[in-house]
Each structure stands twice: as structure tokens, then as C-alpha cells.
Amino acid sequence: MTTLTPSPLSHLDWLEAEAIHILREVAGQCERPVLLFSGGKDSICLLRLAEKAFRPARFPFPLMHIDTGHNYREVVGLPR
């Protein structure tokens, strides 16, 4: 008979699990949390973590777009 032992989490898996835990704690303990989103690498990563934490349910907080002013012309619809 073979006993299955859980494999330890890799460093990145542990960081992801910790980030998801923090998002859930904030959503549960804070009165009016909001997730700021600029479209950059960091905020895209944070949005993906929020999806993993709460989907398929709706996010328990609103998303707020932050315009940093650092956009490609095509993103904001300006001609080249």
C-alpha cells in the first residue's frame, strides 16, 4: 500500500497562497476595500490573484482604474 504525502509548496506557490490569504483577510476585515488597477504588470498580477481568491463569485470589493498617464497612444485612442 502506498501512502501519499503532500509535496511541499515551491517558493512561488507559497507566495501566491500567502497573497491570496491576505486578499481574503482584507476583504473580510476591512470596511471599504478597493483594488486599484492601472493596467501595468503589478496590477495585472494583483487582479489575477484576486480572481484566484474569489472566483467564480463576484469580487467583494470594487476595482478602481488609476490613470498613471503612462499609456501607449493606441490604448487611449490617439493617432500615431
Kindly list the domain boundaries of the chain, sorted by start residue: 31-69
Amino acid in position 66: I
Global pTM? 0.75
Alpha helices by DSSP H, listed for the chain, are 11-29, 41-54
Amino acid in position 50: A
pLDDT digits (tens, 9 = 90+) for 20-79: 999 999 999 999 999 999 888 899 999 999 999 999 999 999 999 988 877 767 666 666
Residue 1 burial (10 A CB sphere; 0-12, 13-18, 19+): exposed
Scan for cell 463569485, then name that residue: 57
Q: Which of 66, 63, 65 is nearest to 54 (CA)?
A: 63
